[in-house]
Amino acid sequence: MRLSRQRRWEKSSGLYAELVGRGLNPDTNARRINGALAPEVCFLPVRLEIRPLPAACNLVHGRCRLVGALAALMAAAGPMAGAQAPPAPAVPAPAPARFVVVLDAAHGGDDSGGWLNGQAEKTFTLALSVRLRSLLSARGIPAVTTRESDATVDLNRRAEVANHANAQACLSLHASESGNGIHLFVSSMAPAPPTHFAAWKTAQAAWVTRSLALAGTLNSAFLQAGMTVTLGRTALPAVDSMTCPAVAVEIAPERGSDKKVTAGLDDPGYQARVAEALAAALLEWRSEARQP
């Protein structure tokens, strides 16, 4: 029994009811495809409109793009997350303070000091200061002097020069016809802790310990040079206002066991030995301070 076309649509496809629902006749809107009946394709008119998104949608879209970009960056940085960060460049250490010595030739100008076998003490101390400065310069140690000529320099000015130079050692140079060999004097002040603002007349109290150490270094150098050394402590008006290790060095003639002079202050060889021993001591003092 041959089925009608409508029956065939019902048997062969579920589109029959859909076509009928759209008001189309399945019999007239069908065609054969590969020997079978199929509904003809109907093209409905379509109108495409492009409208801008609302502002709220644009904001959401922008945020989505930002989140996506951040996610991409995190994904790219993922393999490097475990890598060790490169070390920060080393910060150079501050340069140590320059090692400076102050040479204080005692007396000068109107103050002649003592008399040394017809020579004024001020002349002897100035000559020793000039010689010692030359020896220190040859060893790479800069020296500041309190006077360069026969000039009057008061005690406060001498301390000001030493403090302004930020000296690591100050030698107050003296001479005497009495005694034997070298006399080293350190301030008689009791040691005191340093303060932010040191009292002028007692500034050396914070440096007495270092001054005693400097005297020890000087003592060793003179003993190695075969000289007699006497150590002492006394009030030193100029030194007591200095904020640095400071020692008063008094040179006397060399004497034998019979107390007779074997080398006087006017002996060039003796003067040279004294200056060389002082230079050697200051070179050792710089090494102990570990400063260039």
In terms of domains, do 199 and 275 share one? yes
Give the pLDDT mean for 123-133: 97
**How many domains would you assign to the chain?**
2
Least confident of 100-114, 187-201, 224-238, 270-284: 187-201
Residue 133 and residue 273 in one domain? yes
Structural domain includes residue 196: yes
Residues 276 and 154 both lie in one domain:
yes
For 166, which DSSP code?
A: T
Give domain status of residue 23, yes or no: yes
196-205 tens-digit pLDDT = 777 889 999 9
116 shares a domain with 188: yes
The pLDDT value recorded for residue 126 is: 98
pLDDT in tens, 49-73: 555 555 544 544 555 565 565 566 5
Q: Tell whether 14 and 106 lie within a shared domain.
A: no
Q: What pLDDT is recorded for position 196?
A: 77
Q: Which pLDDT does position 58 carry in this prediction?
A: 52
97-111, 135-149, 278-292: least confidently modelled range: 278-292
Task: Let me know whether 122 and 263 are in one domain.
Answer: yes
Q: Is the pLDDT of residue 41 over 60?
A: no
Closest CA to 100 of 282, 276, 249: 282
207 vs 18: which has the higher pLDDT:
207
CATH number (domain holding residue 211): 3.40.630.40
Give the pLDDT score at 249: 98
| Average pLDDT for 146-159 | 96
The residue type found at 268 is: P
Residue 52 lies in a domain: no
Report if residue 126 sits inside a domain: yes
Co-location of 280 and 171 in the same domain? yes
Task: Check pLDDT > 70 for residue 127.
Answer: yes
Q: Are residues 159 and 261 in the same domain?
A: yes
Domain that holds residue 207: 101-289
Closest to 180 measured CA to CA, from 281, 261, 276: 261
| Residue 171 belongs to a domain | yes
| pLDDT of 166 strictly over 70 | yes
Q: Nearest Cα to 219, choosing from 280, 177, 132, 272?
A: 280
Beta-sheet pairing, 30-33 with 119-120: unpaired
Q: Does residue 72 fall inside a structural domain?
A: no
- Whether 69 is in a domain gets the answer no
Confidence at residue 32, expressed as pLDDT on a 0 to 100 scale: 45
Residues 24 and 109 in one domain: no
Residue 62, phi then psi, degrees to nearest 5: -65, -40
Residue 250 pLDDT > 70, yes or no? yes
User: Are both 165 and 283 inside the same structural domain?
Assistant: yes
Same domain assignment for residues 27 and 146: no
pLDDT digits (tens, 9 = 90+) for 73-90: 566 555 554 555 556 555
pLDDT the model gives residue 120: 97
**Is 44 inside any structural domain?**
no
